[in-house]
Amino acid sequence: MPRVRFAPSPTGYLHIGSARTFIFNWLYARHNQGTVILRIDDTDVERNTQASLDSIFDGLDWLDLGPNHGADEFYRQSERIDLHVKLANDIFAKGLAYRDFTPAEHTDADVAPSGAAWLFHPAMRNMTSEESDRRAAAGEPFVLRFRVPRETREAVTFADLVYGEQSKGTADIEDFALLRSNGLPTYHMASCADDADLRISHIIRGQDHLTNTFKHVLIFEALGATPPAFAHLPLLIAPDGSKLSKRKHGPVVSVTTYRDGGFLPHSYVNFLCLLGWSPKNDREVMSRQELVDVFTLEGVNRSNATVNFTDADPFDPKAVWLNAENVRALPLDELAARALPFALAAGFHTDEAQMRQIAPLIQERIRTFKDIATVADFFFVEELAPYDAAELIPQKGDAAMAAAALEAARDILQTAEFNHDGLDAALRAGALKLGVKPGQMFQPIRVAVCGRKNAPPLFETLVVLGRETCLHRIGRALEILHTTTTA
RNA sequence: GGCGCUAUCGUCUAACGGUUAGGACGAAGCCCUCUCAAGGCUUAAAUACGGGUUCGAUUCCCGUUAGCGCUACCA
């Protein structure tokens, strides 16, 4: 039974790439009846914040992958530091690590010969244990470095489940730090210690960790543990090819942007799955269960995937399309319930009952719930926003025709049976009587009641609006027409 | 700079040596139609470049180019 983990560090909101990594871990575990472990990698006390942790939980919860943020077990690295330090010291005790007393300021490129990578400080790596112990006992600060076995071993290898056989020469791996001079573990140490201790079987993470994995394999081996299986995921990048970053790309990299933009959680999950993974059968719109059933690591590909967005539109068109597909499939009650908060947030007065009436009229017309504000606004307002009188004039018609149509409509709506069929019959008959095409009759009415030419089907709209509102708005339209033509 | 990874329509992707290089989004056109939307049909659009291997390369190998990642006492 596989055990996978998602290990975010709480230094910002939940990033779209992190969300995808979590989803892939989750799918892999659910597909294989495994366990999802959520581990907060919060060893960097300087940058961690509670607000960030909360927003990561919010993001995971919105994804709607189950209780407890979709995870089965929960850990916090900061509570396990004693373990990390103990295991680091075990490695030191085995002679597989050494103390490096070089002051922090001197660790960088000035020691590295130009052209080659920095590997280690010879004086530190080769120091006698007597001197090392003496300086440590004297209280001199040091970082504990892994002693990469360049003499006894040519390369470190592992088989990545996505990228295949990986190998890197030990001569190209530097003596990386295990413990910092403040005594706290580094990311590499803490991560591997926890992965080993929690018996993680599969590490599924971003490809940015691919080269770190050679170090991790070394740590697992030094710990006497069998390294877990690794599967690296291609990265999500911006349209310009650069990696997604908050500073450069703004809120598009946060999952909350999609949440607030009126996406269904599942649409977003579905969309993210399609980035860097394919079921290979041309299926795109899939339910959560279908995704679980069909997800495999073999379906993950190796090249980075671009998230398509622009300054004008932060949402990838495919995500929007997927959401529209899911919206159309929603039961009307659920559609109404989910759309309501967005109508309210847009400043409209409405309630669930009214939303339920409107639901069938907007279902095929909104792509995200945020569209409710531009698609259904006229249902909510008392007085329509001003519109151009010219809008009232039908195709191949004139102001006189518009006026005649509206006057006829006013009479008809006063007496007609106020339901779809009744209005349909009465208004068509009205058009016939006026000698105009149905469309020429309907358009002025539509503009009069909706305030624009493009709107849901007329009869249903009239019914939802109610006789009184319709008559009032038609009256207003006649006034507008009159004042414009006489002015 | 060193090391690693990647390269199919604008974008997401399919094609485990042999296809007219397929699908989807987006775009364009047509149909349907009371407008819009939805739906149906159609069109444009790709194997980065150069060498090999092979009867045959999108596919395998090498090189070039480009992009990304790692190269911290950050994760």
* Residue at A442 is within a domain: yes
CA of A251 to C1' of B30 (A): 40
**Least confident residue range of A66-75, A117-126, A139-148, A470-479:** A117-126
Nucleotide of closest approach to A106 (CA, C1'): B73
Residue A115 pLDDT level (bands cut at 50, 70, 90)? low
* Residue at A185 is within a domain: yes
Residue A92 pLDDT level (bands cut at 50, 70, 90)? very high
One domain, residues A406 and A302: no
CA of A394 to C1' of B34 (A): 11
Residue A331 pLDDT level (bands cut at 50, 70, 90)? very high
More confident residue, A339 or A482: A339
Average pLDDT on A393-400 reads: 89
* Residue at A161 is within a domain: yes
* pLDDT greater than 80 at residue A56: yes
Q: What is the mean pLDDT of chain A?
A: 93
CA of A211 to C1' of B54 (A): 35
Structure tokens at A148: 């990469």
pLDDT digits (tens, 9 = 90+) for A408-461: 999 999 999 999 999 999 999 999 999 999 999 999 999 999 999 999 999 999
**What is the pLDDT, as a whole number, of residue A111?**
47
Nucleotide of closest approach to A275 (CA, C1'): B12
Nucleotide of closest approach to A163 (CA, C1'): B5
Nucleotide of closest approach to A428 (CA, C1'): B34
Residue ranges of the alpha helices (H) in A384-437? Answer: 399-415, 420-434
**What is the pLDDT, as a whole number, of residue A173?**
94
Rounded percentage of chain A residues whose pLDDT exceeds 90: 88
Under 8 Å CB-to-CB from A45, ≥6 apart: which residues? A78, A184
One domain, residues A240 and A265: yes
Rounded percentage of chain A residues whose pLDDT exceeds 70: 97
**SS3 (DSSP) at A391:** helix
Query: What H or E segment, with its residue span, contains residue A230?
Result: strand A229-233
One domain, residues A102 and A219: yes
One domain, residues A154 and A211: yes
Per the structure, the count of domains in chain A is 4
Residue ranges of the alpha helices (H) in A203-345? Answer: 212-222, 246-249, 255-260, 265-273, 288-294, 317-328, 332-345
pLDDT digits (tens, 9 = 90+) for A223-239: 999 999 999 999 999 99
* Residue at A320 is within a domain: no
Under 8 Å CB-to-CB from A157, ≥6 apart: which residues? A165, A166, A167, A168, A217
One domain, residues A51 and A132: no
Report, in ranges, which bases of strand B sit under 7 Å from a protein C-beta: 1-8, 10-15, 22-26, 34-39, 67-75
Under 8 Å CB-to-CB from A267, ≥6 apart: which residues? A319, A322, A323, A325, A326
CA of A101 to C1' of B49 (A): 50
Structure tokens at A328: 């159309």
One domain, residues A287 and A359: no
Residue A246 among the catalytic residues: yes
Residue nearest B74, CA–C1′ metric: A44
CA of A193 to C1' of B19 (A): 50
Residue A484 pLDDT level (bands cut at 50, 70, 90)? confident
More confident residue, A485 or A175: A175
Q: What pairs with residue A348 in β-bridges? A: none
CA of A462 to C1' of B34 (A): 13
pLDDT digits (tens, 9 = 90+) for A181-219: 999 999 999 999 999 999 999 999 999 999 999 999 999
CA of A256 to C1' of B31 (A): 41
Residues counted in chain A = 487
* Residue at A313 is within a domain: no
Query: In angstroms, rounded to a whole number, what is the distance separating the alpha carbons of residues A356 and A370?
Result: 17
* pLDDT greater than 70 at residue A116: no
Question: What CATH code is carried by the domain that includes residue A373?
Answer: 1.10.8
**What is the pLDDT, as a whole number, of residue A110?**
46
Residue nearest B39, CA–C1′ metric: A364
Identify whether the C-beta of residue A295 lies closer than 8 Å to the C-beta of residue A28.
yes
Nucleotide of closest approach to A367 (CA, C1'): B37
Average pLDDT on A449-475 reads: 96
* Residue at A17 is within a domain: yes
* Residue at A282 is within a domain: yes
| Phi/psi at A215 (5° precision) | -65, -40
**Least confident residue range of A106-115, A241-250, A324-333:** A106-115
**What is the pLDDT, as a whole number, of residue A106?**
58
Residue A487 pLDDT level (bands cut at 50, 70, 90)? low
Residue A279 Cα distances to A123, A275, A285, A288, A474, angstroms? 54, 11, 11, 13, 54
Residue nearest B13, CA–C1′ metric: A278
Last residue of a domain, one of A208, A233, A258: A233
Average pLDDT on A60-88 reads: 96
Under 8 Å CB-to-CB from A138, ≥6 apart: which residues? none
CA of A61 to C1' of B48 (A): 42
Residue A109 pLDDT level (bands cut at 50, 70, 90)? very low
Nucleotide of closest approach to A458 (CA, C1'): B34
* pLDDT greater than 80 at residue A91: yes
Residue nearest B67, CA–C1′ metric: A241
One domain, residues A210 and A90: yes
* pLDDT greater than 80 at residue A112: no
**Which domain does A432 fall in, by range?**
389-486
**SS3 (DSSP) at A184:** coil
* Residue at A11 is within a domain: yes
Nucleotide of closest approach to A117 (CA, C1'): B2
Among A94, A246, A280, A453, which one carries the catalytic annotation? Answer: A246
Last residue of a domain, one of A212, A233, A254: A233
